[in-house]
Structure formats: structure tokens, C-alpha cells
């Protein structure tokens, strides 16, 4: 397992982002110095970005880009894949395709979709919005497959979005139209709100999990709350997870300090688990 931290690209403007914001080269160097292996990019409009330059900066810092996240498309520009207005929905799909192209140019294996799926309206329009989301995601899956990029749906808690709050809901929806085509991003912080058992939901989700995000129980960096990260890492290892754990935590007191605290908490656990696996001859 490897550790990643989110980095916002320069065209984003949201000061509340759970990410390092500002000079990309500086932040890539910081993560490398802290022994992170990857930087998960949070983007808004790839048309304003130079993918080749960003890839070079990450490579020079010794970092991979394990995923590109799309939350700012919704938060800053109001885009929604379930929008009932066809023109608005086409705008959301087109921008997401641009993110997919950006990820492919970076060599990033996946694009994460959380709040970009959109908030469902109530009443009779709810089912129509779900059908619109199915149509959008089906088109995007075909587009992404042609570019060698995966898509991952993130179950998120009810205070963030009003559908696909649990692993079971997300799997049921995906299996109804896209079995085996779309993976899951498992966010332990959201799971704490919605799942009857965090570990049962992780085990259920695991065959489809391509990326993991964490924060502590209070949304601070790992080590600032009550979450048992040692046990979480052990369960991931027992399941055979070999991907990235990305820290999506509040930037308190600063994002850089959150990155430092997360590394201080998590990296020894990853090393310990790797050494134990080698000791048992299970690697």
C-alpha cells in the first residue's frame, strides 16, 4: 500500500478544499519530502491546465498521480450528471470527458466521481434524474474505456449528497446497468456515517475497490481523532489491497501540516504491515 495526498490544480478557486493549494511544484516537493508516493489531483477545468507540465513536475518529485477527482466541477461550476436539463447534462458530460482526457495524459489510472453525480430532486422527478445519471455515466464509461482510464463512484454520506450513501446502494445501482465496468472509491470517513459496520462494508465493497480515502473521525488528519487506523490498515492488508490510501482531511491548521501529521500517523503502519507480511512469508 502507498500513501497519497490531494493537491488542487491552479484553476480551482475554492479555499475550503481538502487539499494542498497553490504552487504545484512546491507541493509535489513537500509530499516527496514527507515520503508520500502519490498526489491525487483535484481539478475543475482541464482546458486551463498543461497536463504534460504537471506530469513532468510529479515525475521530477518522484510522485505518481493515482487518481483525478471531479468534486470541483460540481462545487464551483454546478455541473451534475443527473441534471434534468439536457443542455446542462451535456455540459457536465463534456467537462468530465475533458477530465478523463487529462487523466490519460497524466498516466492516472482513474477518475473519481462523487458529488458530480448530482443531487436528486424529490417527487416524480427523482426517477427521471436517476435515468439521466445512468445515461451520463454509461456514456462516460465507454469514453473512459477507450482511453484506458477507469471511473470510480464514491459512496458519500447523507450530509453531502442524497443518494448512493452506502456501499450497498452504490453496488446495487452500478450492477443494474454497468456490472464490472465501474469501480468504487471507498472513503472510510463517509462509511463511518452510513454503514452499520465499517469493516463489513469494506469487505463487501472490496472486489470493486480501486482507491481508498481516509480522514479521522472529526475530519482532521489521521491521528487527530479516534479512528483505529492500525486496524484499518491490517484489514486492507488482509484483503490484499495494494493500492493507494489518500488522505482527504480538513486543512487544519494548514494543509501542509495536515499532510505532515497524516504521514506521521500512517506511514509507520504501512511499513509495519509490509514487514509483517514479509515475516510471515505472505508477500
CB 212 within 8 A of CB 244: yes
Residue whose C-alpha is closest to residue 161's, from 218, 92, 80: 80
Residues 6+ apart with CB under 8 A from 190: 154, 155, 156, 157, 160, 165
Q: Which residues of 58-85 are buried (b: 16+ CB within 10 A; e: fewer)?
A: beebebbbbbbbbbbbbbeeebbbbbee
- Whole-number Å distance between alpha carbons of 33 and 62: 10
User: Phi, psi (5° rounding) for residue 246?
Assistant: -105, 135
What dihedral angle (degrees, nearest 10) is formed by the CA atoms of 121, 124, 129, 132? Answer: -170
Residues 6+ apart with CB under 8 A from 46: 98, 99, 101, 102
- Whole-number Å distance between alpha carbons of 53 and 231: 39
E strands, 62-135, are 68-69, 110-113
Would you name the residues annotated as active-site residues? Answer: 154, 248
Amino acid at each position: 500500500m502507498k500513501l497519497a495526498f490531494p493537491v488542487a490544480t491552479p484553476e480551482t478557486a475554492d479555499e475550503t478544499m481538502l487539499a494542498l493549494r497553490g504552487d504545484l511544484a512546491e507541493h509535489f516537493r513537500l509530499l516527496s519530502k514527507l515520503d508520500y508516493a502519490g498526489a491525487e489531483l483535484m481539478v475543475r477545468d482541464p482546458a486551463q491546465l498543461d497536463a504534460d507540465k504537471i506530469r513532468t513536475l510529479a515525475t521530477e518529485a518522484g510522485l505518481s498521480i493515482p487518481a483525478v477527482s471531479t468534486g470541483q466541477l460540481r462545487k464551483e461550476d454546478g455541473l451534475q450528471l443527473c441534471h434534468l436539463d439536457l443542455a446542462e447534462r451535456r455540459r457536465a458530460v463534456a467537462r468530465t470527458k475533458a477530465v478523463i482526457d487529462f487523466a490519460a495524459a497524466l498516466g492516472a489510472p482513474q477518475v473519481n466521481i462523487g458529488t458530480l453525480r448530482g443531487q436528486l430532486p424529490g417527487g416524480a422527478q427523482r426517477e427521471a434524474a436517476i435515468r439521466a445519471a445512468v445515461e451520463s455515466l454509461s456514456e462516460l464509461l465507454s469514453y473512459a474505456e477507450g482511453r484506458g482510464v477507469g471511473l470510480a463512484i464514491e459512496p458519500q454520506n447523507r450530509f453531502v449528497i442524497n443518494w448512493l450513501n452506502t456501499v450497498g446502494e452504490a453496488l446495487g445501482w452500478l450492477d443494474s446497468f454497468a456490472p464490472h465496468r465501474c469501480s468504487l472509491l471507498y472513503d472510510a470517513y463517509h462509511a463511518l456515517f452510513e454503514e452499520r459496520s465499517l469493516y463489513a462494508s469494506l469487505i463487501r465493497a472490496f472486489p470493486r475497490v480501486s482507491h481508498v480515502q481516509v480522514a479521522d473521525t472529526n475530519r482532521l488528519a489521521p491521528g487527530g481523532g479516534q479512528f483505529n487506523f492500525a486496524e484499518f490498515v491490517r484489514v486492507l492488508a488482509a484483503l490484499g489491497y495494494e493500492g493507494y490510501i489518500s488522505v482527504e482531511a480538513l486543512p487544519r491548521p494548514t494543509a501542509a501540516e495536515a499532510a505532515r501529521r497524516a504521514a506521521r500517523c500512517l506511514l509507520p503502519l504501512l511499513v509495519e504491515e509490509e514487514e509483517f507480511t514479509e515475516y510471515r512469508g505472505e508477500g
